Amino acid sequence: MEKIEYDAVVIGGGLAGLMSAHEIASAGYKVAVISKVFPTRSHSAAAEGGIAAYIPGNSDPNDNPDYMTYDTVKGGDYLVDQDAAELLSNKSGEIAMLLERWGALFNRQPDGRIAVRYFGGQTYPRTRFVGDKTGMALLHTLFERVSGLSVDFYNEWFALDLVTDNKRVVGLVAMPMKTMTPYFFKTKAVVIASGGMGMLYRHTTNSYINTGDGFGIALRAGAALKDPEFVQFHPTALYPSDILISEAARGEGAILKNIKGERFMAKYAPKKLDLAPRDIVSRSIITEIREGRGYPGGYVGLDLTHLGEEYIKERLALAYEAAKNFAGVDAINEPIPVRPAQHYYMGGIDVDIKGRNPDLIGLYSAGEAACVSVHGANRLGSNSLLDTLVFGQETGRTVVEFLRSNPNTPTSNYEKEAEKVVDDAYKFVKSESGVHFGEILEKLRDVMWDNVGIFRDEGGLLNAMSEINNLRDMVSKMYVTDKSKVYNTEFFNALELRNMLDLAIVIAKSALDRKESRGAHYRTDYPERDDNNWLKHTIAYLRGNTVEITYKPVKMTRWKPEPRVY
């Protein structure tokens, strides 16, 4: 097998991966970015509303980073590690200004400084934005910046698995989709920044590429996931295409209505109404639909009509366009059809505040792939872009420290291990006939949506465990019909499915074990939050077909749990 050597390898070319690579390359180390898409196609591009940032001298005069930390901790239903949330808040202004210096075209105030707007869950307005395409704007700025450094990009390369030696990462195997020839990347440090996993669910606002590859890779290498049961559903995804209609719409005054024309949020969150947190609004919408007050097909209306044409087109351009292009609805005259869809993954590869995984030396993670944890049980809007950049940077700097103190490349007989990685990948699709990936994939997405979704209970979760196990068995009969040796996407889709199945079983088991309701994890059989027994992080390992679960305490600094009332 061909070998390529780097000081560090980053998996993922979105905001977190690029930021890590920037730090590593700027310190003079040799770094590669491996991405299954050209970096600007990463899911970071799809972020809309903005990035939260407290900028000294350019924020509400009453605001300060402590309010921001408090909002984040409360929003996350107290499962947030408070030291991490403090770091996120304290660095927020600095990181937004860094992107500005690099050319990000933030919307401006008349005096030329960066503008600000309100987002859900904020005590004071602190969301910085670029129109309604903030993610795209920041991703392009950062990619363009990093493409000017000596970073080697391996675009449209698929990472298969890590190679480890005695709990130390010594490299990974990846292959270019164009030629499908595997390469061994020998390296001292790997940063997994591969984003989220929305494709596990029938309905998701995520890109097609979000198949949770990094989670599968980490689990198979023996690293734990933290809080895997916490999956965020966004209340307003466009029906039927699941394109995100930003929370900014409700921020600007849009009202959710059922088929009777009732403002049903008055029933569920009398104070915050339509701007209650995402988990609460999502559950309310599903309840309305289940109780027969949704529209046929299963959706409710997001009514903007009272805002007027000019206001809608100026402030909610993307929502207006998306409704028009993808649902044939003119939001000036009729409500936008919406329903909840999977949106974000709070769980992720277990890392500390420095981006280090405790299980494997040399393994790091950042962005949605990682669980630091700053989002706890439910992420606040505008905090994910901030997370990618702040912890992308922190992680990159930690890797630099690691490389400085560990200048020697581990000696290891990687050849055999690397060959095994490739064998395992091909073994996964070895049958000559039988089922193919599409059949298993579609079944998995339904099982996750129906049983491991917005409402959960023991029966449904047990059913999900058994269904997922069946699908994992079916895989032994899976085959790839395409025999092409160039850009064989069927083969890569099958490998994505392997990652999805490894993650799915971990999510289902962790959700089954957490017998309480907290943030996005809602158990109808245990509807209350239970701080006495469950104020702790789930730590889940995958050993063969068995999910092993332990727990570790949440880091508390200054904020004591209180009831989460909105």
Partner 1 sequence: MSQNLQEQEVVFKVKRFSPEKGDWWSEYKIKVDRFTQFTEALRRIKSEQDSTLSYRASCHMAVCGSCGMKINGEPRLACKTLVLDIVKKYNNNVITIEPMDYFKPIKDLVVDWDEFYDRMFKVKPRLYPSKEVLEEKAEHRLKPEDQKELWKFAQCIWCGLCVSACPAVRIDSEFLGPAAHAKGYRFLADPRDTITDERMKILIDSSWRCTYCYQCFNVCPRDIEPVTAIKKTRSFTKNYSDKSEVAKRGEKHVEAIYDSIKQTGKLLEGMVYLKTYGLIQSLTDLIYMSKTGKLKYALVQEKNVQNINEIKKILGGEKK
Please state, in angstroms and rounded to a whole number, the distance separating the CA atoms of residues 394 and 371. 14
CB of 136 to partner 1, least distance (A): 5
**Cβ atoms < 10 Å from Cβ of 112:** 6
| Strand 370-371 with 348-350, pairing | parallel
**Cβ atoms < 10 Å from Cβ of 328:** 8
Binders of partner 1 in range 516-555 (CB under 8 A):
none
Choose, by CB under 8 A, the member of 150, 325, 466, 545 that binds partner 1: 325
Name the region of 295 (left: φ>0; alpha: ψ -120 to 50; beta: rest). Answer: beta
Please state, in angstroms and rounded to a whole number, the distance separating the CA atoms of residues 219 and 25. 28
Choose, by CB under 8 A, the member of 25, 68, 244, 511 that binds partner 1: 244
Instruction: By CB under 8 A, tell whether 212 contacts partner 1.
Output: no
**Segment near partner 1 (CB under 8 A); pick from 111-119, 225-233, 407-415, 459-467:** 111-119
CB of 58 to partner 1, least distance (A): 10
Q: Which two tokens stand for residue 37?
A: 């898409």
Binders of partner 1 in range 346-405 (CB under 8 A):
none
Q: Which is nearer to partner 1, 56 or 308 (CB)?
A: 56
Instruction: By CB under 8 A, tell whether 241 contacts partner 1.
Output: yes
Q: Which is nearer to partner 1, 83 or 156 (CB)?
A: 156
278 in active site: yes
| Cis bond before residue 92 (omega within 30° of 0) | no
CB of 243 to partner 1, least distance (A): 5
Choose, by CB under 8 A, the member of 107, 123, 431, 463 that binds partner 1: 107
Please state, in angstroms and rounded to a whole number, the distance separating the CA atoms of residues 477 and 500. 17
Instruction: By CB under 8 A, tell whether 562 contacts partner 1.
Output: no
- Annotated catalytic residue within 145, 278, 514, 564: 278
Choose, by CB under 8 A, the member of 69, 187, 207, 211 that binds partner 1: 207
Closest CA to 378 of 516, 271, 268, 233: 233
Instruction: By CB under 8 A, tell whether 489 contacts partner 1.
Output: yes
| Pair 139, 43: CB distance under 8 Å | no
CB of 201 to partner 1, least distance (A): 14
| Pair 213, 500: CB distance under 8 Å | no
Binders of partner 1 in range 257-296 (CB under 8 A):
295-296
- Beta-strand ranges (E) seen in 125-258 are 127-128, 151-155, 157-164, 169-176, 183-192, 225-226, 231-238, 255-257
Q: Which is nearer to partner 1, 204 or 378 (CB)?
A: 204
Instruction: By CB under 8 A, tell whether 343 contacts partner 1.
Output: no
Instruction: By CB under 8 A, tell whether 101 contacts partner 1.
Output: yes
Q: Which is nearer to partner 1, 246 or 365 (CB)?
A: 246
| Strand 536-543 with 546-553, pairing | antiparallel
Q: Which two tokens stand for residue 121?
A: 């869950």
Instruction: By CB under 8 A, tell whether 22 contacts partner 1.
Output: no
Instruction: By CB under 8 A, tell whether 329 contacts partner 1.
Output: yes
Per-residue binding string, partner 1, 464-483, x by CB under 8 A, is: ----------------xxx-
Instruction: By CB under 8 A, tell whether 217 contacts partner 1.
Output: no
| Strand 370-371 with 255-257, pairing | unpaired
Binders of partner 1 in range 44-73 (CB under 8 A):
45-46
| Strand 435-436 with 300-303, pairing | unpaired
| Pair 350, 243: CB distance under 8 Å | no
Q: Which is nearer to partner 1, 209 or 403 (CB)?
A: 209
Per-residue binding string, partner 1, 423-452, x by CB under 8 A, is: -------------xxxx-xx----------
Q: Which is nearer to partner 1, 16 or 97 (CB)?
A: 97
What is each CA distance from 280 to 15, 284, 291, 517, in whole angstroms? 29, 6, 17, 12
- How big is the site for partner 1, counted in residues (CB under 8 A)? 72
Residue linked to tokens 């070319």 = 13
Instruction: By CB under 8 A, tell whether 485 contacts partner 1.
Output: yes
Instruction: By CB under 8 A, tell whether 208 contacts partner 1.
Output: yes
CB of 292 to partner 1, least distance (A): 16
Choose, by CB under 8 A, the member of 70, 102, 118, 426 that binds partner 1: 102
Q: Give the CA angle between residues 505, 511, 515 to the nearest 5°.
A: 150
| Pair 13, 37: CB distance under 8 Å | yes
Instruction: By CB under 8 A, tell whether 316 contacts partner 1.
Output: no
R_g (Cα) of the chain, nearest Å: 23
- Give the DSSP letter string of 406-427: --SPPP--HHHHHHHHHHHHHH
**Segment near partner 1 (CB under 8 A); pick from 76-84, 326-334, 355-363, 391-399:** 326-334
CB of 226 to partner 1, least distance (A): 27
Using DSSP's 3-state secondary structure scheme, residue 492 falls into: helix
Binders of partner 1 in range 133-152 (CB under 8 A):
133, 135-137, 140-141, 144-145, 147-148
Choose, by CB under 8 A, the member of 109, 466, 470, 476 that binds partner 1: 109
Please state, in angstroms and rounded to a whole number, the distance separating the CA atoms of residues 229 and 550. 13
Residues catalogued as catalytic: 278
